[in-house]
Amino acid sequence: MKKLRYWQTDRKKGASYLDSFTERVINIIQHIPSGKVMTYGQIGQLAGSPRGARQVVRILHSSSKKHDLPWHRVINAKGEIGIKAEGAAEHQKAMLESEGITFTERNTIDLEAFRYHPDIF
C-alpha cells in the first residue's frame, strides 16, 4: 500500500513545513484507490482540520476537474452519496458500482467494508 506524505523538509533552509490544507486534501483524494471510499470528514481530519468536512466539499467542487480527482470516491459519514443534484447522485452511484462497491438496501455504502485507511508517515 502506498504511503502518503503530508510534510516535507526544505533542506536548503533546514525547516519543516506543512503543505497547505488544500494541497493536502487534493493529495489524499488523488490516492483513494478504485473500489474504496473516504468521507469528507475523514479527509479533513487527515489533512489537518478535524472539522474541515465542508472545506473538503468546497475543494472537491472547485478542483475536481482541474486535478482530475476521483470525486466519486468521497461520500458522507453516513455512507451516503452527498450530492443532491438531479442525476449526479445516480452517476456517482454507477461509478462506484463499476469499481465493485455495493450499496445496502438503504442505499448506503458499508464503511467497514469499503472505507480507505491510508498509511501516513
pLDDT in tens, 73-84: 999 999 999 998
4 or 35, which is more confident: 35
Which tens digits make up the pLDDT trace of 93-111?
Answer: 999 999 999 999 999 999 9
Tell me: pLDDT of 87 over 50.
yes
Tell me: pLDDT of 92 over 90.
yes
Grid cell of 13 as nine digits: 533552509
Which ranges of 6-121 does DSSP label H, i.e. alpha helix?
21-30, 40-46, 53-63, 88-98, 111-114
pLDDT of residue 19: 59
DSSP H or E run through 47: none
Which tens digits make up the pLDDT trace of 17-46?
Answer: 445 999 999 999 999 999 999 999 999 999
C-alpha to C-alpha distances, 3 to 27, 81, 91, 92, 105, nearest whole angstrom? 11, 27, 30, 26, 34
